[in-house]
Structure 1
Amino acid sequence: MRKFVLILAVIILITSVSGYFYFDKKFTPPENNLEVSEDQDTLDIQWVSNEDTEFAALLVPVNIEGVPNTFYLQFDLGAHSTLFHEKALSSISEKYPFFDSSSFDNNNPFRFNLGMVSVSIPKVRRLNYGQEINWKGSDVNIIGTLGADILEHKVVLMDFKKNCIGLRNTFPTEIPMESIQDFEFTKRKVMLQGQINSERTKFFYDSGSSAFELITDKDQWENLALFGAVEKVYQANSWGSKLDVHNIASDAVITFGLQEIPLSKVTYIEGTSLIQNVLMYFSGMGGMIGNKLFIGKVLILDAKNQKFAVL
């Protein structure tokens, strides 16, 4: 009964005028304060693995001016803005005093390089998360997240065949027109138009959810499950919160343009917020897709023109 009342309250909030402005403000990203050079480059993907998958997280290399080490950012298009881990920045400042992470501003922006692409940020978004830098050994030191704000500056070519990411200024001209599709990029959310089992829908693409092909609600999960398949449940950590992940085999097919991609697993997650679940329901979204769906494929995103292609 209590859950029903909460759901009803959220629905009323969403459908009211004040509710519209509440959610519009809540999910509107802050101003994009990245300053990105016109250079182009291709970055090698570094995968983080765990006991459940070899595609737990997608990392890209980043270099800081004056620091000889290579660090890594998680490439997470589910995050509306690029941010950095406070512990990592403090650790770098301790070893390299000229890198004063507490003094970044318009006159002294934080500068880093994604290959040949230079980026500067006058106001750094920080999160009290992550680990201090391990200066010994060969640890992969993750210092933050490269978010969807990069899409407002670059066409991103994610080549999961060659395990690399291209940062380009224009959409590749060699891509056949019939492969190019429209997508929505409202409030820095990548919403790809596609089909699942020939039913047209849209999918929220979150490159930070690397380990998953399709995350959906429980009803859709049951509809897409392979008959007789047995679910597997494990616990995952999301920014310190424990979530129960339910996977089950599926023989559904997701289609983008000319590309038909068979699903091997479909997922639903317990522990997400009520607001997230209700928003998914009312948005008409078929679910959230992660990098695992595109392994062996190429995904190109041009947010300025809201065009994408899967090859």
Structure 2
Amino acid sequence: MKKIIGYSVLGLLGIVLILGIYGIRKFNNTYFKERPAYLELSHESQPMDFKWTHSKVDEGHIEYQTGLLIPVQIDSLEHNLYMQFDTGAPDSFFYEKDLISLRKMGYDIKEVSKDGIRFVESLNLNLGGKPVNLSMVKIYPNYGNTFSAEFDPKINITIGTIGSDILVDRITSIDFKNQTIQFFEERPEWMQQLNGFKTFDFPGRRVMLPATVDGKQYEFLYDSGCSAFGLITTKQRFKKYTEVSTPVESFGAKSWEDKIYINSKSSNYPLTIGGTKLTMKRVSCVDMYAFLQPLVTPFTRIGGWMGNQAINESHLILDTKSKEFLILTTI
């Protein structure tokens, strides 16, 4: 009888292991799969301004730097329009509800379909104070804001997302201290004089930065949409990288249409990214995945999700042509 029970337990564990390996492999293949890049950007290479936004979350808690927003100006429209810069999103989007509102105001925004996907064909606008043309931007269905032609200076409207497809075959300079973003087709002269570039990977348009913590090597997925967080990691590392006496902030963070409950603490724990010494500033973990994380994490490429907190006073350069990057603490 004991042997039967033992064999049954081993058989069950074997099935769980097989299913786990299959699930992890499917996740990696799906998350990092190569994707067609449709977005086209026509512009003169000039710094585009961005601003940090803050918002109230659960129980009146205020999160600062919850989003990295680039101001948008369409013709003479007075509304406070923005697009969020989100490297965690592999595609850029205009939100359908916002497009409907703009069309009701008389804007002729044409769309086309390709490969079964709807796109805004072309749109001229000012992005971060500079004129650009965005073509073949995906439409995110049934999402966004409806707004009227009446201007309300108190209301900020995010009409879309600038995703990591804008990084493809470009050099992107994000100066957090001066709050500017600039896109180059080739490295400018001032950038060519810089030393210390390190390699990074860009599978499926995911920015994977090499990091060192406590002498251990990791790959952190850089997600500028996680602006409020320095590092989202496992519960075990969360405890290690923070002080017991530091108060925990727990709240629900919105991710597109979902809400994920997160625990966060401030932290001065050191880490090195691309040879640059930094501090985490903030460490977070997701309780609902706490049991699975230590089992799954070693089999995925993602050693942690990195937001902007650790580098929000630095200057990040991402060159997807050569797959090199650099973080400057002074320039």
TM-score interval, normalised by the smaller of the two chains: 0.7 to 0.9
Q: Paired residue for 1:118?
A: 133
Q: Paired residue for 2:6?
A: none
Q: Any idea what SS the aligned residue of 1:55 has?
A: strand
Which one has the largest radius of gyration? 2
Counterpart residue identity of residue 179, structure 1: G
CA deviations 1:281-311 (Å, max 9, x no partner) are 3125331111122111100111121111000
Q: 1:117-266 to 2 correspondence within 5 Å?
A: 117-121=132-136, 124-134=138-148, 135-138=150-153, 139-175=155-191, 178-266=195-283
Distance 2:90 2:293 in 1: 16
2:33 to 20, 28, 32: 28
2:87 to 63, 77, 82: 77
Q: Paired residue for 2:97?
A: 87
Q: Paired residue for 2:20?
A: 11
Note the C-alpha offset of 1:174: 3.3
Kept after mapping to 1: 8 A contact 2:234/2:290: no
Note the C-alpha offset of 1:50: 1.7
Kept after mapping to 2: 8 A contact 1:178/1:258: no
What count of residue pairs does the alignment treat as equivalent? 302
User: Alignment RMSD, CA only?
Assistant: 3.1
Counterpart residue identity of residue 38, structure 2: N
Note the C-alpha offset of 1:241: 2.1
Note the C-alpha offset of 1:14: 4.4
88-97 or 63-72: bigger deviation: 63-72
Q: Any idea what SS the aligned residue of 1:12 has?
A: helix
Identity of aligned residues (%): 27
Counterpart residue identity of residue 112, structure 1: N
Kept after mapping to 1: 8 A contact 2:229/2:306: yes
Kept after mapping to 2: 8 A contact 1:7/1:274: no
Question: CA distance change for structure 1 residues 279 and 93 in 2, over 3 Å: closer, same or farther?
Answer: farther
Note the C-alpha offset of 1:239: 2.1
User: 1:56 aligned to 2:66?
Assistant: yes
Counterpart residue identity of residue 160, structure 1: F
CA deviations 1:106-160 (Å, max 9, x no partner) are 8982223432332211x63323222113541122221111101001143111101
Give 5+ residue unaligned stretches, structure 2: 1-8, 57-61
Question: CA distance change for structure 1 residues 227 and 98 in 2, over 3 Å: closer, same or farther?
Answer: closer
Give 5+ residue unaligned stretches, structure 1: none
